[in-house]
Structure 1
Amino acid sequence: MNTPTEYGVHIHAHGGPQAMQYEPIQVPPPGPREVQIRQHAVGVNYLDIYHRRGVFPIPSLPGALGVEAAGEVVAVGRDVQRFKPGDRVAYACPPVGSYVSLRNLPDHGIVKVPSGVSDEQAAAATLQGITAHMLLHRVAPLRKGQTIVIHAAAGGLGSLLTQWARRFGVRIIGVVGSEAKAGLAASLGCDDVIVESSEPLVQGVRRLTDGEGVDVVFEGLSGRVFHESLTVLKPFGHLVNLGQAAEGLPAVALSDLGPARSLTVSVPGVFAYVRTHPDLQSVADDLYGLIASGGLRVGIGGRFALKDARDAHRALESRGTTGSLVLLPERT
């Protein structure tokens, strides 16, 4: 009997999407405290693009990309207690290497997926959903009556964050890049939507708040958008940077934050949350429970075969996508 061939997407050097190669891989049996996962859907995140470009270099080359996927446990190593073959699982954590059909992973970052959540939903929402949980429960807990801004409100993280924040009774101003995305942002729970191509952020926020500003801004572009977001905050406002999709993280003088304005800036990392949370499964249960009940809609903006990962990266970099993108390994 022939052993099925497994495949993965690797880079041998940092660069553009053309640097990604679809290649056969060898997967040994799982080691101690490892779980072997047959991957049914793989999440695509902007972090993967940073890794591919070398903005955040992966540990070694050649190497696989990706930090998120969902599938089924097919084998477990010695000393694994929480999982058994047949369990449906997902993860959103290092080590990098989720763009593969089969992989071994340390058991501490893996969570179980309930029957009411599909593999594609789990692969599309685990990283972004845990990020939203971190933001709303640890980094910037919201209070009823506050006004917040969510950049890229129609994107993968933005769409989940908008829906989840809505449950806190806050007013949400969503920011999108085009008129085509404005309706989606409104349907997800934004009370008002600023289309950046039609109205500058600062002007739009001042118009919508009668010049008062907002309590919290969530942004993931950095650079110019970071500084403009500081401008629209009320005294004691909080700016949360979620990434540097457009430009690198800028330096900020403490004198720009206070004491007159008394502002706060956070640059949280979801992997620190995954690594240090005392009960990661409870976080996943909160997320998956909302998805299963319909409280969170997971928008999948594109499905690509694993071998077409280059096309997925091109789509994400175009900033024309809505929702999340997933890669689908061929079944063997």
Structure 2
Amino acid sequence: MSGAWRMVARSHGGPDVIAREDFDPGTPGEGELLIEQDVIGLNFIDTYYRTGLYPAPLPTPLGSEGAGRVAAVGAGVTGFAIGDRVGAAGGLGAYATHRILAADRVVRIPDGISSEDAAAMMLKGMTACYLAEDSIALQPGQVALVHAAAGGVGSILVPWLRDKDVIVIAHSGSAEKAATVQAEHSLHGSFDDLAGTVRELTGGKGVDVVYDGVGKDSWSASLASLKRRGLMVSYGNASGAVPPVNLLDLSRGGSLYVTRPTMYDYVATSEELAHTAGRLFDRMQRGVVKAQIGQRFALADAADAHRALEARQTTGATVLIP
């Protein structure tokens, strides 16, 4: 296809390894859709593939999330037509003007939700969905500690939990970010003092669950913030990978539970994907969660977007525009 281009990582390393290349996306095969993308979402997982923390063949097509319009429909596909607004989250290759995907990994964007909002929300929002709804069956009045509460996932997860009447202790990297978070308690500052503050706020008990996308730097504080038999949900590595876990630390901490989920295992089937996306779109339409787009970059400037993300200079979601 003439004019199609994408951004790839030609080697592993810093943002400078990201380069633009022309490519031919081809035509959709059986069960596939060709999507002409209008907006792409930026996510921290993109940096993991760029650095090689998550392995993938080089050159690596970057990006996992985007929204646009169906440009061509492959044989055997039902339920989609040319011109439909659609979104997808998962896989690689979203940093592109065009993308071919299996139709059962694509969802239709409802009326009333813009393509930009969908691209900003799908991966982060569906992550927030499985964290809040599926990783633990939280009940009203239970307490959750949410790290990076002003970030892409955190800014969705906090209001989602509060809509469930869960008490949220939010933690952010700066006073400025903490001021943007509406929660029962919005903290900031050093991880060294966090567990003590959490204990004070919970009458010495600790929290029922910690949602931790930070990783290495917050690990010890997260474990120390949990109540007896509490659950540690480690879903990201923004500060680096968590070191090897000593199971005796979980015993000493109060028979703690730990899970390291990935979204794919919660949307592995087309039915699970539709259910998860439906719950997200429902909360977007009801105004429970909103696409807080703090930054917009041209797709060609993806390297600059990565620099801002890794320097923690972004708030809310960031989108790339082809």
- TM-score of the alignment, normalized to the shorter chain, above 0.5: yes
TM-score range with shorter-chain normalisation?
over 0.9
Query: Residue type matched to 2:70 in 1?
Result: V
Displacement of 1:111: 0.6
Aligned counterpart for 1:49 among listed residues 37, 47, 71: 47
Contact conserved, 2:8 with 2:59, CA < 8 A, in 1? Answer: yes
In the TM superposition, residue 210 of structure 1 has moved relative to its aligned partner by 2.9
Code of the residue aligned with 1:196 in structure 2: it is G
Question: Is 2:211 aligned against 1:218?
Answer: yes
1:121 maps to 2:117: yes
CA distance in 2, matches of 1:39, 1:324: 18
Counterpart in the other structure of 1:84: 81
3-state secondary structure, aligned to 1:247: coil
Q: 4+ residue stretches of structure 1 with deviation over 4 A? A: none
Contact 1:88 1:113 in 2 (8 A): yes
TM-score normalized by structure 1?
Answer: 0.93
SS, match of residue 257 in structure 1: helix
Whether the aligned pair in 1 keeps the contact of 2:163 and 2:288 (CA below 8 Å) is: no
* Cα drift, residue 198 of structure 1: 9.3
Output one character per residue of 1:242-294: Cα deviation in whole Å (capped at 9) or x when no partner.
Answer: 11111212222222222771211111110121214634222212211211221
Question: Of residues 208, 216, 227 in structure 2, which corresponds to 1:234?
Answer: 227
What is the alpha-carbon distance in structure 2 between the residues aligned to residue 122 and residue 308 of structure 1? 21
| Bigger mean CA deviation after superposition, 131-140 or 145-154 | 131-140
Residue pairs, 1:114-153, within 5 angstroms: 114-153=110-149
Matched, 1:246 2:243: no
Cα gap change, 1:55 to 1:171, in 2 (>3 Å): same
Give the structure 2 partner of residue 264 of structure 1.
Answer: 257
Return the match for 2:22 from 24, 35, 41: 24
CA change 1:250–1:150 in 2 (3 A) is same
Amino acid at match of 1:25: F
CA contact (8 A) 1:156 1:324 kept: yes
**Offset, 1:199:** 7.3
Q: Secondary structure at the match of 1:275?
A: coil
Distance in 2, Cα, partners of 1:253 & 1:179: 33
* Counterpart selection for 1:112 from 101, 108, 112: 108
Name 2:6's counterpart in structure 1.
8
Identity among equivalent positions (%) equals 41
RMSD of aligned Cα (Å)? 1.6
How many angstroms apart in 2 are the aligned matches of 1:260 and 1:268?
21
Determine the C-alpha separation between the residues in 1 that align with 2:60 and 2:293: 26
Superimposed CA distance per residue, residues 180-200 of structure 1 (whole angstroms, 9 cap, x where no aligned partner): 1112112xxx11111124972
Distance in 2 separating the partners of 1:265 and 1:143: 19
Contact 2:120 2:318 survives alignment (8 Å): yes
Contact 1:38 1:102 in 2 (8 A): yes
Residue 64 of structure 1, aligned match among 42, 47, 61: 61
Counterpart of 1:73? 70
- Alpha-carbon spacing, 1:202–1:277, altered in 2? closer, same or farther (3 Å): farther
The one-letter code sitting in structure 1 at the alignment partner of 2:72 is: A
Structure 2: gaps of 5 or more residues: none
Distance between the aligned counterparts of 1:241 and 1:303, measured in 2?
A: 28
Q: Which amino acid aligns with 2:67?
A: A
TM-superposed deviation, 1:107: 1.3
TM-score, length of structure 2 as denominator length: 0.96
In structure 2, the partner of 1:185 is 181
Whole-angstrom distance in 2 between the partners of 1:86 and 1:257: 52
Aligned to 2:146, what secondary structure does the other structure show?
strand
Judge conservation of contact 1:8–1:22 (CA < 8 Å) in 2.
Answer: yes
User: Once the two structures are superposed, what CA deviation does each residue of 1:23-49 show, in whole Å capped at 9, x if it has no partner?
Assistant: 222121111111000100001111100
Instruction: State how many pairs are aligned.
Output: 322
Deviations 1:38-82 (A, max 9, x none): 100001111100000011122x22231011100100101111112
| Mapped contact 2:8–2:19 kept (Cα < 8 A) | yes
Q: Which has the larger displacement, 222-231 or 171-180? A: 222-231
CA distance in 1, matches of 2:278, 2:192: 39
Single out whichever of 156-165 and 195-204 deviates more from structure 2: 195-204
Report the AA paired with residue 238 of structure 1. Answer: L
**Match of residue 299, structure 2, among 267, 287, 306:** 306
